[in-house]
Amino acid sequence: MKHWMITGALALTLSTAPALWAEEGHQAAAGLELNAEQVKALGLQFAPFEPVARVEGYAWPAQVDIPLAHRDLVAAPVSGRIARIHVVHGPVKQGQPLFELDSAELVQMQQAYLDARARLTQAEKNFARAQRLYKAGSLSQKQYLAARTALETARNDKLARYEALLNAGLTLGQIKALAGGGKPVRTLTLHAPKDGLLFDLQVERNQRVDANAPLAHVGEIEPVVADVALPVSEVKNIHLGQTVTVDGLPIHGQVAYIARQADPETQRVSVHVRFDNAKGRLLPGQFIRVHFVEGTPAPAWRVPNRAVVDLEGTPAVFVREGKHIEARPVELIDRDGRWAIVALGEQPDADARVVSFGAIFLKGMMEGGEGEGDD
């Protein structure tokens, strides 16, 4: 029967492997008895098995952004000159002044409204006179209908110009004052449409802008979306609703969107992760690293990364129970520079410890002492 021998000063013989190892066609796994002095002489260190129910995968880079459905464009409703900028960036409240726009076009619109009111007043008088004459038989039906059509046209024109002033940003009070003989408003104040964050300022003071020119954006920062560009080979492991965590922050989100096409140049697929961001820990434009969380396929434990060694092409750890140490094959679920997530063939005892330092040394002793033994 073939077995391993640990040679050297301790002259320790390794025993027969567990059945799981043998079933996979490997040579006998290792077992040995070590007292405290021998453990000290080998410099071995031990760590507990930490049970885990889920695995946080590789940390993928991502950029935080505001969802399109949660951002508003602040645009110039009329042409004019940016007379003042109240907020350059940062949080704003709904109704807070953002810009002051000096607009000759706005004055012209108000004058057109006043002219439409005057035409409507005259059309009302003309129709009232035509109605009297028509009833008296002194006016033809064609003339009567023309007067009525002129009245309807004047009413529609006045209403259209009234709504244009509302769309331009004048208040009902300002329009009422204008109709009562007040002076036309030349400076228009643009306000924040919602609570949120003002960003992407696109104008400067005294800059002239056309109607509908974009000035800035206001977006809600609850929620936010992180855009992750995943390699095509990784997308198959991702699903909608999957939990996602962020490096260094105690928050989690969910996969909200997975693109159905890849970038032909990078061979990556866009994945959007939604975070509620109630405490505002994530900022639009911020770069973060995210983990896509997966459940483990079997009971799993976290061990130090250096505890996992390769024995004949199979991941393994050295486990101590009491004074006995043996090599056990494991399924390597995940691994980074510090930790490894492994599944064992059987659950370790409560007092079991994994060799966290010295596993490579034990592996070397096993491989260096391989030889033929007797049955």
Give the CATH number of the domain where residue 325 resides.
Answer: 2.40.420.20
Say yes or no to pLDDT of 88 above 70: yes
What's the confidence (pLDDT) of residue 29? Answer: 43
Question: Domain limits at 51?
Answer: 2-55+295-372
Does the residue 349 lie in any domain? yes
The answer on 109 and 188 residing in a single domain is yes
- Picking from 278, 294, 310, the residue at the C-terminal end of a domain is 294
Q: How many domains does the chain divide into?
A: 3
CATH number at residue 271: 2.40.30.170
b/e per residue 125-138 (b: at least 16 CB within 10 A)? ebbeebeeebeeee
The single residue listed with the structure tokens 């198959």 is: 236
The edge-to-edge listing of strands for the beta sheet with 90-92 is 71-75, 214-219, 196-199, 90-92
Q: How far apart are CA 304 and CA 335, in angstroms?
A: 9
What's the confidence (pLDDT) of residue 368? Answer: 63
Residue among 32, 8, 80 nearest 369 (CA): 8
β-pair partners for 64: 226
What's the confidence (pLDDT) of residue 64? Answer: 95
CB < 8 Å & 24+ apart, contacts of 250-257? 251/275, 251/277, 251/281, 251/282, 252/293, 253/226, 253/290, 255/292, 256/225
Say yes or no to pLDDT of 55 above 80: no
- Picking from 168, 200, 215, the residue at the C-terminal end of a domain is 215
For 78, phi and psi rounded to 5 degrees? -140, 165
Q: How far apart are CA 10 and CA 43, in angstroms?
A: 13
What's the confidence (pLDDT) of residue 297? Answer: 64
Does the residue 51 lie in any domain? yes
- Picking from 215, 232, 248, the residue at the C-terminal end of a domain is 215
The answer on 98 and 181 residing in a single domain is yes
Report the Cα 278 to chain-centroid distance in Å: 13
The answer on 207 and 113 residing in a single domain is yes
Q: How far apart are CA 300 and CA 139, in angstroms?
A: 98
What's the confidence (pLDDT) of residue 363? Answer: 84
pLDDT in tens, 1-54: 233 333 333 333 333 333 333 444 444 344 677 788 888 888 899 999 988 877
Say yes or no to pLDDT of 91 above 50: yes
What's the confidence (pLDDT) of residue 174? Answer: 95
Q: How far apart are CA 108 and CA 113, in angstroms?
A: 9
Does the residue 75 lie in any domain? no
pLDDT band at 273 (very low <50, low <70, confident <90, very high): very high
pTM for the model stands at 0.56
Say yes or no to pLDDT of 372 above 60: no
Percentage of the chain exceeding pLDDT 70? 89
Average pLDDT estimate for 175-187: 95
Cβ–Cβ under 8 Å, residues 207 and 58: no
